[in-house]
Structures are given as C-alpha cells and as structure tokens.
Amino acid sequence: MTPRPRGSRRAPLVAGAALLAALCLAGIGAPWLAPPPAAQDLAHRIEGPSPGHPLGRDDLGRDVLSRLLWGARTSLPVALAVVLLSALAGTLLGGLAGVSGGPLDAALVALMDLLLAFPGVLLAIAIIAVRGPGIGSLLAALSLLGWVTFARLARGEALRLRRRTFVDAARASGAGRGRILARHLLPHLAAPAVVQATFALGGVIVAEAGLSFLGLGVPPPAATWGGMLREGTQHLLDAPRLALLPGAAIAATMLGAQWLGEGLGGRDDAARA
C-alpha cells in the first residue's frame, strides 16, 4: 500500500485535533464563559443577539451561547464514553474471537449479525424505552450498538495476524490465547481501533443528538445539542438560529472527528506500508 504524502496526512490531523480541542475547551470553560444555562427571562424570550447575549435567547429567555457551551459538557463526554466503552469491549471480544477461532468465533459472528439485523435507532429506542431516559440508558443503548464495528475490525486483524510467525512462536512457547491476545495482538490492534474510534465519535454525536431530538436523551433541564435542536425546530420561521446553532455545533464535531480520523488513518497506512 502506497502511503499518502506527509503533508496530506498532517493537515487534516492538525485541523481535526484543533477543532475538537477547541470544542472540549469551550465545554470545560462553560462555567466561566457564560451565565447559567437554565436561567430564564420570559420577558426577553426569542430576543436577538445583544452585547450581553451574543447569540441571543431561546423561547424561555435562556442564553443560547450558554446552552451551547453547557451542551458540549453533556454531548461530548457522553460520546467519548460511548466510544471508549465500545472500543474496549469490541477490540477485546473481536481479538479473542479471531485468535481463538472455532465455536467462540462462530458465536461472536452470529451475535454481531443478529445485532446488525436490527435498525440501530430502533434498537436504541427500545432499550431507552425499557430503562427510561437518562445518561445511563443513553450509554447502554449506544454502547450496545457501537462495539460491533470495533469487534469486526479487531476480528479481521486478529485473523490476519494469527498466521504470523511471532504468533506461532508464542504458541510454541506454551502461551495461551489470553496471553497471545494481551501481549502480542493488542499492540497491533490498538492503532486501527484508535482510527476507527475517531470516525465513530462523529456517528455517536449524531446518534445522541437524534435520540435527544426525540426526547430520549438526557432529560431537561440539562442542555444538550440534540435537545436544543428539537426546541429550535419550533421557531424555524421567527428564529432559525435556535436550530442552526446547535446543528452547526454537531456538524463541527463531526467534521473535526472526520479530519482527525483521516489524519490518523494516513499515519496508520504509512506504518503498515
């Protein structure tokens, strides 16, 4: 495989990392950068931008900039936690199935096919409907769907690596499947898993926003980008910024994750070449 030029890998990597870092820092600094997100002022509802409220107020008189920043404190940590849980579980299960083969591998493939047979959004809605809305339900629903992609990737890589001489040498020395996976395969599975995680981050952000848009995410009065988008659609004619601004935040996060994934993917390709 011919690696991409160094400059073409570095530009999206730096741009994506900078954009995601800026969004994370904005969320961290929300308590110092904006007023409380739940403070209402019905006398100034749907008010346009002003020096004290640069992005205006929403239909309850709450500061839009504050809710965007505090929404980052909810949406981004949820997405990062889902990606982390999915990556850990999927990589371990997929790697173990790939190095083991036999019934364990067949059982994992059957489970992945079963989960992929259901529409992801409908399965997430069903899980949240049973457990009730909340961060815990959101993490459970999205992680249950997210680990499959990482498991398929890890299984494919493990099947490729299990034929390498260093794995044969480990088996010959008496190493078991767990030791082979932990000491010899996981270091090789980490790089593609990290690349996949960056691409998955954008998808999780959209999924979380979609569930929040349907009222199945973090319940009010917590600020989330999906919840703001749902509230903003009621004012598309008189105040379209209430929907456009959270939509832009979601799009910026997806773009940053995409750029970061492209940059890391190019480096991974270069390492394999």
Assign domain 6-35+58-272 one CATH number from 3.40.640.10, 3.30.70.1400, 1.10.3210.10, 1.10.3720.10. Answer: 1.10.3720.10
Q: How far apart are CA 185 and CA 170, in angstroms?
A: 11
Count how many Cα atoms sit within 13 Å of the Cα of residue 48 in the half-sphere of its side chain: 1
- For 260: left if phi > 0, alpha if psi spans -120 to 50, otherwise beta; the answer is alpha
| Res 2: pLDDT | 47
Q: Assign 53 to helix, strand or coil.
A: strand
Q: How far apart are CA 224 and CA 246, in angstroms?
A: 9
pLDDT by position in tens, the chain (length 273): 444 555 556 788 888 889 999 999 988 888 888 778 888 888 888 888 888 888 888 888 888 999 999 989 888 888 899 999 999 999 998 888 888 878 888 888 898 888 888 777 788 888 888 888 888 888 888 888 889 999 999 888 888 887 777 776 766 766 666 677 777 778 888 888 888 998 888 888 888 888 888 888 888 778 888 888 888 888 888 889 999 999 999 999 999 988 988 888 755 554 454
State the CB neighbour count (10 A cutoff) for residue 87: 24
Beta carbons of 57 and 41 less than 8 angstroms apart: yes
Beta carbons of 272 and 2 less than 8 angstroms apart: no
Is residue 238 exposed (0-12), middle (13-18) or buried (19+ Cβ within 10 Å)?
A: exposed
| Res 9: pLDDT | 66
| Res 69: pLDDT | 92
Q: How far apart are CA 194 and CA 8, in angstroms?
A: 19
Amino acid letter, residue 132? G
Q: From 211, 189, 186, 206, select the one nearest 247 (Cα to Cα).
A: 206
Beta carbons of 211 and 124 less than 8 angstroms apart: yes
CA distances from 103 to 108, 214, 246 (A): 9, 40, 47
| Res 168: pLDDT | 64
| Res 170: pLDDT | 67
Q: How far apart are CA 112 and CA 114, in angstroms?
A: 5
Beta carbons of 175 and 115 less than 8 angstroms apart: no
The alpha carbon of residue 95 and the mean position of all alpha carbons in its chain are separated, in whole angstroms, by 21
Angle separating helix axes 6-28 and 64-100, nearest 10 degrees:
130
Q: How far apart are CA 185 and CA 182, in angstroms?
A: 6
